[in-house]
Structure 1
Amino acid sequence: MLRFEPVPFRGDDDADYDAVMLTSANALRAVDLATSPLLRLPLFAVGAHTADAARAAGFDKVIVAKGDAVSLRKLVLARVKAGELDASATLLYLAGADLSRDLAGELGERGLSVVTHTTYRMAPVAGFPREVSDAFMANRITAVLHYSRRSAQAFLDTVRADGIEISALALPQCCISAAVAAVLHDAGATKVVVAARPDENALLEALSRTLRPRPE
């Protein structure tokens, strides 16, 4: 699967940022901002989970999008249109090494300057622990959660390498978005469930619905 690995973050104390932007709570896991002047800036968070992580890190002014990069881009541009953010503002984007969308480029085309700092990467893990593979084979796992296309593909690669693809894909696959679900559909999974919104709360709600006993 994928393992979280921090990437050293060296903040530039002389940099003049107008706001911070996050598309994943993981971006804050590897950085210590306890005394950073960045905490005084407004922070644009992709969704509620990321917003909670930002507040826990010490950000006071957190502005929350609807759970995906498209809504985050619209939110930033709406603040520009409302005059709450300068049209040529500089945003610090704390992000992972693998991005599914060029959010910085899209905002750059609208006149904003986005400085991207990579603070973590998700590295592939070779194979499941033996007890996990055995649990799949013994039908002791009831469902699988998928948060990204990349982690879904890593899951498929792992179950194929471990020889448990049939058992694993027979389970309900709960996906955070239709784009993630497409990876599982293409692999032959038939019990694919998509969250109502692209955020963790909606994904867990989808899992709950999937596991709820059906009335006889």
Structure 2
Amino acid sequence: MAVLVTRPYPDDETTAEALRARGFGVLRAPMLRFEPLPFEDDTDAVYGAVIVTSANALRAIAPQLAGHRLLKLPLFAVGENTAAAARDAGFGKVTASKGDAGALRDLVLAHAKSKRLKKSNPILYLAGADLARDLAGELGAGGLTVVTQTTYRMVPAPSLPREVCDAFVAHEVEAVLHYSRRSARAFLDAARAGGVEISALALPQCCISAAVAAVLRDAGATQVTAAATPDENALFQALARALQKPAG
């Protein structure tokens, strides 16, 4: 029996290793493909800080960051995983929010209110092409100016790997892990296209957040578990609850 990981490459490899260390068998079916976009740097712009909601935004521009002026700016990131990616990219002043983009918004606004972050210079938001919320607008409502630079996009996979479809048919999958609403929708479309939607939705669906869980419930899944907090450790705990196994 195996847990199906739908997280995009290369993060799916990290997740697979963590699951195997906990004694799980693993199948991988990345439902979104990372695609970097050209980074159009405005050399005349003077930014006060950088905000990032995904490590992918940094991965996309990593080849251009060596010695870049942006590395001297404070960077605000969603979660420790994205913060670690920022440090690896060369940013020296990195602050991570605990939670989702809403927590990041509150963190940035708190820094502005306490004058640790100046409102006079715009903030550079390194973002993906498909945004789950209008973070720039929310910060704008708080009196900050945000310049959004789209550095990458995630392209949905049209189908599941053949071995994954075969595993669904043979009842060799014990649960599915979901990391975003877009990847969950892509999984549903791919399962439908592969003729395994009924088998797939009959299994425990473990989701990184309640918003992701709603996508699966709306599609007809009945065994849906959401992580208590939007991070992988909490997702693994949700998996353990769903399968009634120790979290490890």
TM-score over 0.5 (shorter chain): yes
- Runs ≥4 in structure 1, deviation > 3 angstroms? 208-214
Does residue 27 (structure 1) correspond to residue 71 (structure 2)? The answer is no
The counterpart of 1:139, out of the listed 168, 171, 185, is 171
For 1:189, which of 208, 221, 240 is the aligned residue? 221
Check whether the contact 2:119–2:145 (CA below 8 A) recurs between aligned residues.
no
1:11 to 41, 56, 64: 41
1:75 aligns with 2:99: no
2:208 corresponds to: 176
Q: Distance in 1 between matches of 2:229 and 2:38?
A: 32
Amino acid at match of 1:147: Y
Q: 2:122: which partner in 1?
A: 90
Residues 129-149 of structure 1: CA deviation (Å, up to 9, x unaligned) = 211111121122222111111
CA deviation after TM superposition for structure 1 residue 183, in Å: 0.7
Q: Which amino acid aligns with 2:157?
A: V
User: What residue number does 1:50 align with?
Assistant: 82
Moved more, 129-138 or 205-214: 205-214
Distance in 2, matches of 1:136 and 1:52, equals 35
Given the two structures, how large is their TM-score scaled by the length of structure 1? 0.94
Provide closer, same or farther for how the CA distance between residues 201 and 56 of structure 1 changes in structure 2, counting only shifts above 3 A. Answer: farther
Out of 181-190 and 83-92, give the one that drifted further: 83-92
Amino acid at match of 2:123: L
TM-score (norm 2): 0.82
Are residue 205 (structure 1) and residue 248 (structure 2) matched?
no
RMSD over aligned Cα, in angstroms? 1.5
SS in 2 for 1:3: strand
Query: Tell me, which stretches of 5 or more residues in structure 1 are unaligned?
Result: none
Distance (whole Å) between structure 1 residues aligned to residue 33 and residue 134 of structure 2: 23
Q: Percent identity?
A: 68
Aligned-pair distance for 1:21? 0.2
Q: What SS class does the counterpart of residue 158 from structure 1 fall into?
A: helix
CA 1:208 to 1:88, structure 2 compared with 1: closer, same or farther past 3 Å?
A: farther
> Does residue 63 in structure 1 map to residue 86 in structure 2?
no
1:206 Cα deviation (Å)? 2.2
Cα distance, 1:160 vs. partner?
0.9
State the Cα deviation string for residues 132-188 of structure 1 (Å, max 9, x = none). Answer: 111121122222111111111111111111110111112211111111101111111
Q: Any gaps of 5 or more consecutive residues in structure 2?
A: 1-30
Code of the residue aligned with 1:181 in structure 2: it is A
Say whether the 8 Å CA contact 1:46–1:72 is kept in structure 2. yes
Partner in structure 1 of residue 14 of structure 2: none
- After superposition, give the CA deviation of every residue in 1:38-76 in whole Å (9 maximum; x if it has no partner): 111110001111111111111111111122111111000
Cα distance, 1:109 vs structure 2: 1.9
